[in-house]
Amino acid sequence: MLTLLASVTALIVSFRVQRQLLRLQRLQEELTRLQIAERTAVQIKAEVVDGSIVLRPFSADQDINSVTVYFPTVLKVAPIPLAAPDLQIPFARFAPEIQSFWDSRTPPADGYAKVRLTAILPVVLEIYGHTKSTAVVTRAFYNLYSRYMRLPNGLSEQQIRGLSLNNYLADGQNMQLALEQAFNETLVAIADAEKPD
């Protein structure tokens, strides 16, 4: 009887160990997949030049064929498609709507200006290009940075500062839903930061 009990216990332990090993193997495979995806993603570096955001590949072994920039729907900015070699977004294509958004979130105050040194909004870039001679489609969140000031007289000023990579979208993830969720999380963060102490 004792031998049977020891055998059953050993069998249970071996099943648990097997299950743990399978779980670790799956996690390792997922990590490897993410590392490969990151190596084969096309990253963009953005530079503000003469009233535009100019997009370029982040590294020399990458090329960009086209980029589409998607904005949260509440901003009412249509997607902006760009094709190489003209990967330049004039501020006029999106800045007035973003300034209107910040105006709606920043009422004027008597006697002083309200300044947002780093006003961040999420956008999604869908990039068709090549990296290491492999054609890839990269979909990623980028943060659109601006500096915003609301003057006591109700007027406002905005300075677009650029774009920076935030994170990649997962395979099969709905791009617009993910963007709306990121935007809503941004609104919550803004509201939390503006709560009085």
Q: Would you say 74 and 164 are in contact if contact means Cβ atoms under 8 Å apart?
A: no
83-97, 128-142, 145-159: which range is least confident on average? 128-142
Whole-model pTM: value is 0.76
Q: Which residue has the higher pLDDT, 187 or 159?
A: 159
What is the rounded average pLDDT for all residues in the chain?
85
Residue written as tokens 């982040």? Answer: 58
What pLDDT, on the 0 to 100 scale, is given for residue 48? 93
> Which pLDDT belongs to residue 96?
95
Tracing tokens 């930061």 back to the chain, one arrives at: 193
Q: pLDDT tens for residues 79-112?
A: 999 998 889 999 999 999 999 999 998 988 888 8
Q: Confidence class of residue 32 from pLDDT cuts 50, 70 and 90? A: low
